[in-house]
Amino acid sequence: MAATVDVADRDQVRAMISNVVGEFGKLDVMFNNAGLNKPMNFLDVTDENWDLIMTVNGLGVLIGIQEAAKQMISQGPAGYPYKIINTASIASRQGYDNVAPYCASKAAVVSLTQSAARDLAKHDITVTGFAPGVVATELWETLDKDLMEIGASERPGQAMEEFSEGILRGRVATADDITGTTTFLASPASDYMTGQIVMIDGGMELV
């Protein structure tokens, strides 16, 4: 089923979860994946740019964790851990000069993952995350245009090429490169993991 939701609107997130439970009977796994970016050179970052990115990428994850956890707790023990999985980024581990609010928001995702893992363990809920690097998606197409507009790159594709130079695997990721790990985090194979962020960046950041 599909639903259109503003992840920073708690009532809409609650309604989405309620609809999922109404359709499927319970909630076992929650992915907090929605996010956005709008590059600005560091000295040009505005309050509005900061607020927009932190609201979606930071507050949206907090709300998603909280409302999913409340539903899972209300369902009672399942005999297996419920799973909450958050999308971080290599930008959570390294600050970049023209996407500072995005980096801060993804660092917040890491902290929220750790905090929630500590608090929700007693309810048999695990909280983990994954941190992609450069992935060939529509988001990067938009970023490419935005970076040219602020003078951070001069030609189409330049930004991705430069960001990708240090990838040990020698290429950018595709969606298929990511889904193996995300499926693992949602599966029983990861039941003993919590509070961890798995890097899926082809070797861009060795941390």
Give the residue numbers annotated as catalytic, written as ranges.
102, 106
Tokens coding 56: 């979606």
In b/e form, how buried is each residue of 168-202, taking b as 16+ CB within 10 angstroms?
Answer: eeeebbeeebbeebbeebbeeebeebbbbbbbbbb
Distance CA 168, CA 39 (A): 25
DSSP secondary structure string, 9-55?
Answer: -HHHHHHHHHHHHHHHS---EEEE---------GGG--HHHHHHHHI
